[in-house]
Amino acid sequence: MLRDRTAALLLTALAPAVWGSTYLVTTELLPPGRPLLAAVLRALPAGLLLVAVTRQLPKGSWWWKAMVLGTLNIGLFLALLFVSAYRLPGGVAATVGSVQPLLVAGLSAALLGQRFTLRTLLSAVVGIAGVALLVLRADAELDAVGVAAALGGAAVMATGVVLSKRWTSPAPLLATTGWQLVAGGLLLVPVALFVEGPPPPSLTDRNLLGYAYLGLIGAAVAYVLWFRGIKVLSPNEVTFLGLLSPLVAALLGWIVLGQSLAPAQLLGAALALGAVVLAARSGPRPPAAEAPAPARVLADR
């Protein structure tokens, strides 16, 4: 059981690791100034592909549940994420967003009856400090709307994670993931058209490669792994894995773009990774085997 849980943690960790590559792909492959278009092309085609593969549509209450979850986990989250990214330096947005594990812990206690432990609080504080050291610059400027958007993005994603755990779909994981991606993508279409206008008339091969990566790997594969993790792990364990995204982004910037990492950033990376490990160690443990009662032994015989 412990080995299965470790495997589930590692598989789920691949999702935020993939999302950590989004900055590199966006800056190096995508056309500039079109973040909402990238969000639409990341979510909607991937969702339609998964629905086409599974050939299953929601039934009963899952029509509105899929819409709610898709809005929280995909559509509204990505919209708020890009608002914060436009109005805040990346380090500020990432630092504010790192409060998400704390929000998930509170919502899990309220909606799922899970304990809010001191270890969870300590892990969250260490994680926020680690992300701040890793990506926050001393000359960063704050913007009230941007900070509100970053906090809102963390809040809606935290709510989506907890509700995804509370609402168990009878459909296969691929179908449920596809429904959410389609719902979130459809929500983003009018927003992208209103803010950015129609798509550019022509796209280069590099642009198409970037969009294909974000759709197939960054959405279809990553979200399936993410929602699978929510299904088999606790929400607290899953959300702390999200701290890996800024860590991977910084690592790729160092390896691919030649960006330097100061000692404070290395300390921040160590703290963020330590928070993930600490949160994982606080997860549920299998109960100790109990000796059967004598009466039960006789009855079994």
Which residues, 6+ apart, have CB-to-CB distance to 156 below 8 Å? Answer: 71, 72, 76, 77, 80
In a domain, 293, yes or no: no
290 belongs to a structural domain: no
Q: Is 273 exposed, middle or buried (0-12, 13-18, 19+ CB in 10 A)?
A: middle
Let me know if residue 203 belongs to a domain: yes
Q: Confirm whether pTM is higher than 0.95.
A: no
- Dihedral sign (CA 195, 198, 203, 209): positive
Residue 232 resides in a domain:
yes
If pLDDT is split at 50, 70 and 90, which confidence band does 117 have?
confident
> Tens of pLDDT along 181-193?
999 999 999 999 9
The range of the structural domain enclosing residue 136 comes to 2-284
**Residues of the chain above pLDDT 70, percent:** 90
- pLDDT band for 76, please (50, 70, 90 cuts): very high
Q: Report if residue 291 sits inside a domain.
A: no
CA distance 169 to 144: 38
Domain contains 165: yes
Residue 271 near residue 127, CB atoms below 8 Å: yes
Residue 276 in any domain: the answer is yes
What is the total count of domains within the chain? 1
| Model confidence pLDDT, tens digit, residues 133-182 | 888 776 666 778 888 888 998 999 999 999 999 998 889 999 999 999 99
* Residue 300 banded pLDDT, cuts 50, 70, 90: very low
Q: What pLDDT was estimated at residue 295?
A: 36
CB atoms within 10 A of CB 172: 13
